[in-house]
Structure 1
């Protein structure tokens, strides 16, 4: 600790203006208005989205009463009781209950899980006209943007924390070893029990599903992007699971330099940057390399990893597709033959 010694003369000190009282408008002009605006934004988000956040309990009622059941958070996304949460919150449990902010408890069943994104879709039994939240467009996020996390950390229900988007396009590896792509990094405080709860923008749209905390780190937490969550839930509703084409790459959303776009004759401002290419996978056999930026696949413009994930659906399994990539600023057309990804089903 540094100690500062005041050796200023009394005469000099008396000639200086008196400091304003802490917290007064004179001390920090405009600060109070900024603080009020920030507080009002968080309050508005909490009041609009908070009632749609539920506590997810797994295991029998007896084990839950003894504190031995699983515990997480979830977000209601439709009035008929569709709930998004994490697959690691649900695990292999067949007994799931949802508790809302008013303490009402209802049983729920699992419609489907997707281990690749750590997401699960539940339906509350017999629930109708529930308070729900809207999924926003995570592609519009910017670093530094205000976000609010709502959940049940350490069992403390309806806890609200706020922070900013620290980074976009992260890839994280779960405990089981699978990689989750295009993840949002935030400094909003999260703890065990927040998993499955929403990360919300200042416009009260869910732009992520909180999924992980780095043990031992401070202020580094992650959420699955809402665009990825939208794709997963639509697949589960349609098929019961997410059937995907697989090309064997890991990547992140990255900007396409304007000069590269002009030279290549494309309109993309963003693309899917390949960070890793699995040896002997479809991408490696096609000649793709780390550092390539995917801008189009099978005629569909790719503006990020979530677009690439969405295009690699069941309809493109086993077909030979044309992929356009930027390599060292030059456009290349590559033929690739996706295979079906092995999927764990409940």
Structure 2
């Protein structure tokens, strides 16, 4: 399955040595005067400060030979971060907020969701596990990003949830569905850190920044599915249909004789993939105002009764409601009439074929 997404900004996995070399004497540690000044101020009514104080001991620096990023305590023996932070490393160095270091072993990675789990030898008593939110993430809700941008440890930036149900690039060439967008500042080194609600729960695992006031994270529902399996087995399998498709725009609807734009037009079907012999791809095109538009393929309208209005609808359902081997029912539009077909989902390959 593929669809059009913005290019990935892979700037979030960096080492701190070059940055610190150019900012002589700036270690990111608070001065004694600053600490004393902060202790004199009353922050009891500041929810961002409260979230930071309750979270910071559970946020760590993750360092490998390739660079550094952020992570957080998931349980008493595991740290969660991004797969692109650990890269191909088998072990990492972990630094806690008060300066203690420990060694970590990478026990599981999933490049499709850009999540990784590290087993740590020792965890300070103050570094308690962080929990993911249980309910829905709402656009406009306040959040705090905590991490180590440019290796300045213990940094907090505040903002709101700017969008939900985003599709963002993964390191494999596929997309990460159900992603969270925020305007909280996200910079190199924030990768793998928590995006916290003001209630003190993780909304998303920070993944990337795409420009001014534009950051993204892996959603709590997807992380809750992937992380336990990474701990148990070291990997996670994602559902796969083996199709590429296009959102049905007004122009595509007109070219295909549809009364209104709806659903996803099947553009290609992967040979020997789950959809082969089940879905019919578009094999022709029509030029409208100088643009080539696909015509003649099946239009996917619903999956197990869930209406498919956008590509995000399909990606979210597959990621959060299905597993490889499940048989799903697709409602499709074929040759002008609606019908239902069944498909057994496969396992997503390691890389997207080009």
TM-score by length of 2: 0.66
Cα contact 1:181–1:250 (8 A) shared by 2: no
Q: Which residue of 1 aligns with 2:26?
A: none
Task: Work out the CA distance in 2 between the residues paired with 1:145 and 1:37.
Answer: 20
- Larger relative CO (CA 8 A, sep 6+): 1 or 2? 2
One of 302, 313, 318 as aligned partner of 2:323? 313
Q: 1:97 to 1:87 in 2, by over 3 A?
A: same
Secondary structure of 1:77's partner? strand
Is residue 168–residue 185 contact of structure 1 (8 Å, CA) maintained in 2?
yes
Q: Supply the distance in 2 between the matched residues of 1:337 and 1:146 (Cα, whole angstroms).
A: 40
SS at match of 2:177: strand
Quickly say closer, same or farther: Cα 1:326–1:276, change in 2 above 3 A: closer
The structure with the larger Rg is 1
> In the alignment, does 2:161 pair up with 1:155?
no
CA shift at 1:112, angstroms? 0.7
1:88 counterpart SS class? helix
| Residues 1:53 and 2:59 are matched in the alignment | yes
* 1:114 aligns with one of 71, 89, 110: 110
Q: For 2:46, what is the secondary structure of its paired residue?
A: helix
Structure 1 runs of 4+ with >4 Å offset = 36-39, 273-278, 288-291, 303-307, 324-327
More helix by share: 1
Quote the Cα distance in structure 2 between the aligned partners of 1:153 and 1:239: 31
SS at match of 1:286: coil
Residue 227 (str. 1) matches residue 241 (str. 2): no
Q: Which moved more, 1:235-244 or 1:81-90?
A: 235-244
Please show how residues 25-174 of structure 1 align to structure 2 within 5 Å.
40-59=46-65, 69-78=66-75, 80-127=76-123, 129=125, 130-137=127-134, 140-174=136-170
Give the total of aligned pairs: 265
| Contact 1:77–1:135 under 8 Å retained in 2 | no
1:292 positional shift: 2.9
Between 1:181-190 and 1:168-177, the stretch displaced more is: 168-177
RMSD of aligned Cα (Å) = 3.2
CA deviation map 1:230-253 (0-9, x unaligned):
1111221232211233113689xx
Following the alignment from structure 1 to structure 2, what is the Cα–Cα distance between the partners of residues 274 and 98? 46
Structure 1: which 5+ residue stretches go unaligned?
A: 1-35, 60-68, 252-272, 298-302
- Pick one of 217, 235, 240 that aligns with 2:234: 240
Distance 1:132 1:170 in 2: 27
Measured in 2, the distance between the counterparts of 1:145 and 1:38 equals: 20
Structure 2: 5+ residue stretches without partners: 1-41, 246-261, 281-297, 307-312
Map 1:13-24 to 2 at 5 A.
none
